[in-house]
C-alpha cells in the first residue's frame, strides 16, 4: 500500500493507480471524497476489498456482500474524516496481465495509426511539392524557350538582312549602271562585295543549320587524315580578309613533322575559321591572333587559337558557350554576331570525340584549345601500310 503526500489542508490526495502482482493499489485521497466515491463503485469479479489508513492500519477488512446485480459492492461502514486512506483491491495477476496486454496492443495500434497518418501526410506533401516544382520548372522552361525564340529572331533578322541588303544594293547599282559606261572596275568591285556578302550569309545559315543538326543528333561526319599544314593554310586564307578589315594580324604555327589531324574536312575548317573569326572580332586593332596545330602529349592533336583581345570572366565563358550567348563589355557591344560560333565549335569537336577548353583573362586575351583524339587503330594501320608501300 502507498500513501500520497499531503494535499490542501494537509490531507493526502489521490495520486496514482499502481498495478502489481499483489493486486491493484490506489494511493491516498481524502476520506470524505472516498466516502462519496465508494458508495457507488461496482467492483465486478473482485474477491475482496480492504480499506486501511495511510500508515497501513486496517479499518475495514472483509469480503463484501454481493449487490443487487450479484456483483460485490464496496461499502464504507464509518466515515474517517481528515485521514488519508489507501484502498487495496485484490485482483488476480492473470487478470492484471491480460488487461496490460490489451492496453499495450491498443497503444501499439494507436501508434501505428498515428505513424501511418503522418507518413501519408508526408508523402502527400512531398508529391504536392514535386508537382509544384515541376510546374515551376515547366514555366521557366517555357519562358526560356520564348526568350530564346525572340533572341533568335532578333539576331537572325540582323544577320540575314545586313548581307541581303548589301547584295541587293550593289546588284541594283550594277544593273542600273549607276556610274555610267566605262566604270567596269567599280562594277567588278561591287561584284566582289556581293560575293563577300553572299559568303557571309551562307556561313550564317550553315551555322544555324549545323547546330540544329547537332542538337537533333542528325549531324553526319566523314573523318579522314588531314594534313595539319594544309588545314592551317586553308583556314588562314579564309580568315585573312576579316583580319585585314579588323586591323589584326594572324600568325600560324605548325610543326613540319606534325601528325595528320583525323577529322571531317568541312567540320575542321568550320571550327577553326569560327575560332579565328571570333578572335579577330574581339581583338582591338593592332592585336595578334595565333593559330597553332601540334601533337598532343598523350596522342591525338591540339588546335589552339589565342588572341590579345578583351578576354572574358568565368561567367562570360559560360555565357559564350550558350546558344546566342554574347559577352557584354565595352568592346563586344560594338560587335555583331549570332552567338552560335562557340556552341557550334563545341558540338562539332565533341562529335569527333574531342573536347573544347577555354582559358581567358579579362583585358589580356583568350586561348581556345580543341583536343582531337588519335585516329582509330584501323586508320593508323592503313596509313602505315601506305607509307611502307610508298
Is the distance from CB of 84 to CB of 4 less than 8 angstroms?
Answer: yes
Per the DSSP assignment, residues forming a β-bridge with 25 are 18, 88
Residue 200: CATH number of its domain: 1.10.287.130
Q: 188: buried, middle or exposed (CB in 10 Å: 19+, 13-18, 0-12)?
A: exposed
Between CA 123 and CA 109 the distance in angstroms is 21
| 308 phi, psi to nearest 5 deg | -110, 40
pLDDT for 74: 37
Residues 228 and 376 in one domain: yes
Under a CB-based contact definition with an 8 Å cutoff, are residues 276 and 291 in contact?
Answer: yes
Per the CB < 8 A criterion, the answer to whether 272 and 236 are in contact is no
pTM of the model: 0.55
Domain end residue (candidates: 91, 112, 141): 91
Choose among 280, 291, 266, 277: nearest CA to 348.
Answer: 266
Q: Please indicate, yes or no, whether residues 359 and 258 belong to a single structural domain of this protein.
A: yes
Tell me whether residue 139 is in a domain: no
- Give domain status of residue 140, yes or no: no
Residues forming a β-bridge with 89: 24, 49
271 is a domain residue: yes
List Cα–Cα distances, 132 to 21, 128, 140, in angstroms.
Answer: 58, 6, 12
Q: Is residue 134 part of a domain?
A: no
For residue 205, the enclosing domain spans 156-213
| All three cell numbers of 300 | 591525338
> What's the total number of domains in the chain?
3
pLDDT for the residue numbered 339? 65
CATH number at residue 273: 3.30.565.10
Measure CA 281 to chain center. Answer: 34
- Mind listing the pLDDT tens digit of every residue in the chain (390 residues)? 333 444 444 443 333 333 333 333 343 444 445 544 444 444 444 344 444 444 444 444 333 444 444 433 333 333 334 444 444 444 444 444 455 555 555 566 666 666 666 676 777 788 888 889 889 888 888 887 777 677 767 767 767 777 888 888 888 888 888 888 778 888 888 888 888 888 878 888 888 888 888 888 888 899 999 999 999 999 999 888 889 988 999 999 998 888 899 999 999 999 999 999 989 988 999 999 999 999 998 889 999 999 998 888 888 888 878 765 555 444 444 445 566 778 889 999 999 999 999 999 888 899 999 999 998 865 555 554 554 455
272 domain residue, yes or no: yes
- In which region does residue 365 sit, left (phi positive, over 0), alpha (psi from -120 to 50) or beta (all else)? left
310 with 347, same domain: the answer is yes
287 & 255 share domain: yes
Are 249 and 191 in a shared domain? no
Q: How far apart are CA 225 and CA 264, in angstroms?
A: 8
364 part of a folded domain: yes
| Whether residues 201 and 257 fall in one domain | no
Residue 46 lies in a domain: yes
List the grid coordinates of 377.
587503330
* Residue 260 shares a structural domain with residue 306: yes
Identify whether residues 242 and 285 lie together within a single domain.
yes
SS (H, E, C) 138-162: HHHHHHHHHHHHHHHHHHHHHHHHH
257 and 201: one domain?
A: no
Amino acid at each position: 500500500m502507498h500513501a500520497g503526500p499531503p494535499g490542501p489542508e494537509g490531507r493526502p490526495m489521490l495520486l496514482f493507480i499502481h498495478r502489481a502482482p499483489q493486486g491493484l493499489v490506489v494511493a491516498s485521497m481524502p476520506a470524505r471524497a472516498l466516502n462519496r466515491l465508494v458508495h457507488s463503485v461496482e467492483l465486478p469479479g473482485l474477491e475482496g476489498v480492504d480499506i486501511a489508513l495511510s500508515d497501513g492500519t486496517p479499518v475495514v477488512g472483509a469480503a463484501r456482500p454481493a449487490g443487487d446485480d450479484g456483483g460485490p459492492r464496496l461499502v464504507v461502514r464509518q466515515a474517517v474524516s481528515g485521514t488519508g486512506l489507501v484502498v487495496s483491491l485484490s485482483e488476480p495477476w492473470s487478470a492484471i496481465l491480460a488487461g496490460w496486454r490489451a492496453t499495450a496492443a491498443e497503444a501499439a495500434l494507436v501508434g501505428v495509426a498515428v505513424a501511418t497518418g503522418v507518413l501519408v501526410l508526408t508523402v502527400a506533401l512531398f508529391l504536392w511539392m514535386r508537382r509544384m516544382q515541376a510546374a515551376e520548372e515547366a514555366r521557366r522552361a517555357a519562358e526560356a524557350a520564348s526568350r530564346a525564340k525572340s533572341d533568335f529572331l532578333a539576331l537572325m533578322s540582323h544577320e540575314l538582312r545586313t548581307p541581303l541588303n548589301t547584295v541587293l544594293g550593289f546588284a541594283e547599282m550594277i544593273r542600273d549602271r549607276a556610274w555610267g559606261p566605262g566604270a567596269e572596275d567599280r562594277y567588278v568591285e561591287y561584284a566582289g562585295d556581293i560575293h563577300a556578302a553572299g559568303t557571309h550569309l551562307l556561313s550564317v545559315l550553315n551555322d544555324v543549320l549545323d547546330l540544329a543538326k547537332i542538337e537533333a543528333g542528325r549531324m553526319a561526319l566523314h573523318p579522314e587524315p588531314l594534313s595539319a599544314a594544309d588545314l592551317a593554310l586553308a583556314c588562314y586564307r579564309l580568315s585573312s580578309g576579316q583580319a585585314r578589315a579588323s586591323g589584326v594580324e594572324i600568325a600560324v604555327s605548325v610543326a613540319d613533322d606534325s601528325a595528320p589531324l583525323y577529322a571531317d574536312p568541312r567540320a575542321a575548317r568550320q571550327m577553326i575559321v569560327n575560332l579565328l573569326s571570333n578572335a579577330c572580332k574581339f581583338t582591338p586593332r593592332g592585336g595578334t591572333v595565333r593559330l597553332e596545330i601540334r601533337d598532343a602529349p598523350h596522342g591525338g592533336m591540339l588546335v589552339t587559337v589565342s588572341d590579345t583581345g578583351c578576354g572574358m570572366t568565368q561567367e562570360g565563358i559560360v555565357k559564350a558557350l550558350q546558344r546566342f550567348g554574347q559577352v557584354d563589355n565595352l568592346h563586344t557591344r560594338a560587335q555583331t554576331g549570332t552567338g552560335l560560333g562557340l556552341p557550334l565549335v563545341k558540338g562539332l569537336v565533341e562529335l569527333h570525340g574531342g573536347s573544347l577548353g577555354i582559358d581567358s583573362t579579362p583585358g589580356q586575351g583568350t586561348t581556345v584549345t580543341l583536343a582531337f583524339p588519335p585516329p582509330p587503330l584501323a586508320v593508323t594501320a592503313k596509313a602505315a601500310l601506305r607509307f611502307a608501300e610508298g
